Amino acid sequence: MSERLLQQPRFPQGRGLANHQPDLWCTYAAIRSLAWIERLPSANVAQLQAYIQSRRNRDGGYAWSKGMPSDAWATFYCTETLKDLAAPVDQREATAQWIHTLFDGDAYAMCPGQTADAWATHYALRTLLDVCNGQVHDADALYRWLDGLQCANGGLSWSADFAKRDVADTRACFYGVMAARALERAGLRAPAWDRPRLIGWLQAQQVEAGGFRFSETAQSPCLWATYRATASLAELNAQPLDRQRCVNWIEALRGPSGGFVRWQGYDGEDVWAVFCAVGSLKAMGQPVEHMADALASFIATLAMPQGGYSYREVSSAADVLSTAAGLLGNGLGDDDRDAALRWIEGCQMPNEAGIMYMPGRGAELRCTAWGLAAGAFAEQPRARQAIGQWLASLQNPDGGFGFWEGRGSDLVSSASAVSILQALNDSAGVDLPGLERFVRSCGREEGGVIAYSAYPRGQSSLRAGLQALGCLAYLGLEVKAEAAALLAAHKVRQGGFANLGQRIPDLLSTYQALALSLALELPIDIPHLVFFLDKVGTGQGFAWSPLYLEGQDPLSACLGQLLLALVNGARTQLPNLHLS
């Protein structure tokens, strides 16, 4: 496939595949937009309430999908959506108690045991203070951390360590400013930032066209950066230096369907662009009533029949993971494969050279790893080089990687980073000793052996151990004996591997166990694998767990097909893929 010009915004060509499920971020953006334009009655409140409440876990937090672990972002989106719908937020005290488990001694992390970042601290504080009416337990430590977010250039960064590098971002500014607003509304003081310099840095991110960029290193303005900047300025009692030019730039991004597009010249209207456009206009005091009916009609086309929303009209709401899964599982003909590859490659867009889960949102490590494994950019050296440079820029000060820019490090993302480096056949300027340092920080002695957790203070598991050992093997360290012992400790007699203990196997753990075994040239028990695949096989594909055969999707079908290809001798190695 010929190499297209990088940074030319255009909705992906070709044809992607979809999972036909609502997305929590899309749902929050849709409902908040409807609330802003005063068109909430057009939404199915009862159905949406049930969809959101199904994400609530017993620990008091909320998850991206039913059955997944709680995190601060999902908890914020779920509770804020319920607030917008005027629906009850049940057991707020339990949610507040769960949020306290996110505090790492300085600020709040996305998950218990992870390191704090600006994203998570914003989500946690707004939920704790605005929704749960809770209290900050260690305000002194929190303020020391918040005070340290300001860079020498005046902007705010993702953490104090990033701030020392003078890495400011309009998104980090928004998260810091809105966290400060939550503190002030709760009767606490604002962080001790130099507000004039913060305002000045934000205003300096407006470009001649009128929109805002993420930072000085971004190539082009976008609606996401513009909303984060204008909303932050409004909260700081300021406005863009050229307010009218910003308004004109936003209004020029209206699409023929009544929605908005993220970039000038882009041709894909989506829910996030609507959210950012309306939020920006309201932050600048602009009326939005004249466009309310058209926006509400556009958002209605994004509604999923089971509740919740996708990012664009349901029939064309493809995503990279489902599309890569279709390619890797060999379920597509030649023409469809070519169309799917072109679609994935179209998800590399301005300012972030990685691959986006859905076009129009942020580039993510896992999606980039899956896209490359599926064959994207195989013959496009410029695109591959740009991905390597993007990856190196995402490495956190602790040496690890998070899901996307500014997120705290975890082993899933760090292992995905290694998968990308393997696909590129290039270390891409990544600090490899730093990566080893982070991986080692996730290990601790348990029962005389080193066990690994996804975060430095998390719960140990098989998959975290496999991810850690896979990273260390890539770095040239000998891990075969350690891997063999780990696999033996989680091998289930009746087939498959269990993430925790040896009782309940699952497809993802089994896949990752076999993938690392093959990479390390450890022996494979084929009859044991066949027995497991028989238990999770369904008429339509493969389920994630033998205990819930209804729980299947394009990703589980892909991993099952890859394992079946191993059994049948069609494969001798498995792609290095990670999800959780």
**What is the rounded CA–CA span in Å between residue 550 and residue 564?**
20
Confidence of residue 1 (pLDDT cuts 50, 70, 90): very low
Half-sphere exposure of 517 (CA within 13 A, CB side): 23
Q: What is the pLDDT of residue 539?
A: 84
Confidence of residue 270 (pLDDT cuts 50, 70, 90): very high
Question: Cα angle vertex 280, ends 87, 294, to 5°?
Answer: 70
Whether 467 and 513 have beta carbons less than 8 Å apart is answered as no
Query: Domains in the chain, start-ordered, CATH in brackets?
Result: 1-14+319-393 (no CATH), 91-305 (1.50.10.20), 395-482 (no CATH), 491-580 (no CATH)
Q: What is the pLDDT of residue 5?
A: 42
What is the percentage of the chain residues whose pLDDT exceeds 90? 91
Residues 6 or more apart whose Cβ sits within 8 Å of residue 403: 364, 365, 366, 410, 412, 413
What is the residue-averaged pLDDT of the chain?
A: 95
Q: What is the pLDDT of residue 265?
A: 87
Q: How many CB atoms lie within 10 A of CB 13?
A: 11
Residues 6 or more apart whose Cβ sits within 8 Å of residue 400: 409, 410, 411, 413, 414, 435, 438, 439
Q: What is the pLDDT of residue 277?
A: 98
Residues 6 or more apart whose Cβ sits within 8 Å of residue 26: 271, 272, 302, 308, 309, 310, 311
Provide the 8-state DSSP code for 132: S
pLDDT tens readout for residues 57-66: 999 999 998 8
Whether the CA torsion 195, 196, 201, 207 is positive or negative: it is positive
Phi, psi of 62 (to 5 degrees): -125, 155
**What is the rounded CA–CA span in Å between residue 366 and residue 1?**
23
SS3 271: helix
pLDDT tens readout for residues 213-246: 999 999 899 999 999 999 999 999 999 999 999 9
pLDDT tens readout for residues 335-377: 999 999 999 999 998 889 999 999 988 999 999 999 999 999 9
pLDDT tens readout for residues 512-568: 999 999 999 999 999 999 999 999 999 889 999 999 888 899 999 999 999 999 999
**Residue 193 exposed, middle or buried by CB count within 10 Å (0-12, 13-18, 19+):** buried
Q: What is the pLDDT of residue 557?
A: 96
